[in-house]
Each structure stands twice: as structure tokens, then as C-alpha cells.
Structure 1
Amino acid sequence: MAGSARKLIVVDDDPVDVRFVMRAFSDAGSLIEITHVADAEQASDRLDSEAFDYILLDINMPGTSGMDLLKRLRARTRTAVTPVIMLSSSSNSVDVNRAYQNGANAYAVKPSTVSGYRDFAEGFTRFWLDVAVAP
């Protein structure tokens, strides 16, 4: 699927973090079409009706947490194997372990700088688009 745009849904309630993510992917020049939703319920509805190649998921959101959404996604045929990358402000090992136990494919701590977000986007693109074989 090289050369064609892949679809990423970003599930995060923090507009500042989302802006950093969108800008970083744009700066990295990656062929990723990004959709943003602000909470787990919107994400759930969108993922029911549309296929995405990757899910970037925050843990701490009002209402349904990212961890609960992750469990829900893994229980559904449509999203059971879609790569889910947790992007959270938490570096707590309990959160990290729970994310992997619930089926996350990767866990990253939100960067604290613009260049950190750019490094994340470049690393994401290099691994998920250039190296990994998608389901």
C-alpha cells in the first residue's frame, strides 16, 4: 500500500495536543490522512462506520476512558487487529502494562516539545508505514 494515504484516527480530548500531533505529521511529510475525534463515544461511532489503518488513543478523557475504548475495540471484529498506539501523558507503569494487557500495539508518552512531537510522527511513519506489515 506504499504511495497511497493511510488513515489515522486520533482520539484525544486535548485540542493543544491534537494540534501538535497534526502539525508533526504534516511536518514529517507523511502520507497519512488524519481524523480527530474528541472522545471515546465519537471514536466508537466513527470506527463502526469507517475503516482506519491506525488508532492513536489517549487514556485520560472525560466519560469513557481510552483504556475502556481499547477493550471495546479489541472485542469487535472490525477493529480487533487494527494497530492501536496509546499516546498518553501518563508514564505510570500500571497504565503502560494495562494498555498492553488490553491489546495496545504500542505505548508512547506525550512529548513535551514540538520537536518531540515531530520525532514521534517521524518514528511512527518510519515504523508503521515503512517497516511494519499491516493486517
Structure 2
Amino acid sequence: MVDDDPVDVRFVMRAFSDAGNKVEITHVADAEAASDRLDAEAFDYILLDINMPGTSGVDLLKRLRGRTRTAVTPVIMLSSSSNVADVNRAYENGANAYAVKPSTLSGYRAFAEGFTRFWVDVAVAP
């Protein structure tokens, strides 16, 4: 998970834990740290916020799609923005999905459950 907001990170981690998921969340707070980490390690999925200080999530997404190691790793944008332009930019640059951050813990739980049902239980990973 690449997100600069510690509150959102806690909500996501708690939601996945509460949902009884086997998904292990690794967190980095900015795009540069994520870029370095993704150069060194392979991850099954990337949850990526758009709006972060410094390098934006979309700029990181472009970088990831240009690298062999992360070119096909599923990237799910998880952003507070519901702006159509942001959604379109994310998909145009290779996002596999886009979700607006929920406003409640129950919303985050629903996201975690839906994520697991699709990405872990149904989708075939590259």
C-alpha cells in the first residue's frame, strides 16, 4: 500500500484484519520509497493513492508500467478523489481498478472483502 495518510492506512489494515483475510499489507508512505521497494521486492498487488506529496500516484504508476518487474502487477488505485479526470488518468496509465476511499470503517471492510473476493479468490494473477 502506497499512501501518505496514516489514518487511511490504519483503516485499510484494520479492515483487512477484521475481514479475516490472509492478505498481508506492506505500507510505504510515498512514491519514491515505493519505487525503491518495488525494485527490490515482488508484490502480488499494489494499492496506490493518487494524491501524495512529491511524486504522484499516477506518475509512480507510469514508472511501474515501464518496468519489467511491475509491468503486469495488478495496481488498484485507492483514492479520496472521485474526479472523473483522475479516474480516467489512472486507467489511461495502466491501473487495473480504481476505488474511492470509503468514509467509514464499515466501508473499508466492504472494500477489503470485495478486494479479496475478486483479486485473491477469483482473478488469475500474472
Q: Same fold (TM over 0.5)?
A: yes
Which among 60, 69, 75 is matched to residue 69 of structure 1? 60
Counterparts of 1:33 and 1:113, CA distance in 2? 21
Counterparts of 1:130 and 1:53, CA distance in 2? 13
Which among 36, 60, 74 is matched to residue 45 of structure 1? 36
Counterparts of 1:80 and 1:134, CA distance in 2? 13
CA displacement at 1:127 relative to structure 2: 0.3
Question: Where do residues 76-115 of structure 1 align in structure 2 (5 Å cutoff)?
Answer: 76-115=67-106
Task: Name the structure 1 match of 2:24.
Answer: 33
Counterparts of 1:130 and 1:33, CA distance in 2? 15
Counterparts of 2:83 and 2:19, CA distance in 1? 28
CA displacement at 1:81 relative to structure 2: 0.1
Matched, 1:22 2:13: yes
**Root-mean-square deviation (Å):** 0.4
Task: Name the structure 1 match of 2:45.
Answer: 54
Higher strand share: 1
**Identity score, percent:** 89
Alignment gaps of 5+ in structure 2: none
Moved over 4 A (4+): none
Counterparts of 1:44 and 1:27, CA distance in 2? 29
**Any idea what SS the aligned residue of 2:98 has?**
strand
Counterparts of 1:32 and 1:110, CA distance in 2? 18
Give the paired residue count: 126
CA displacement at 1:33 relative to structure 2: 1.2
Amino acid across the alignment from 1:120: F
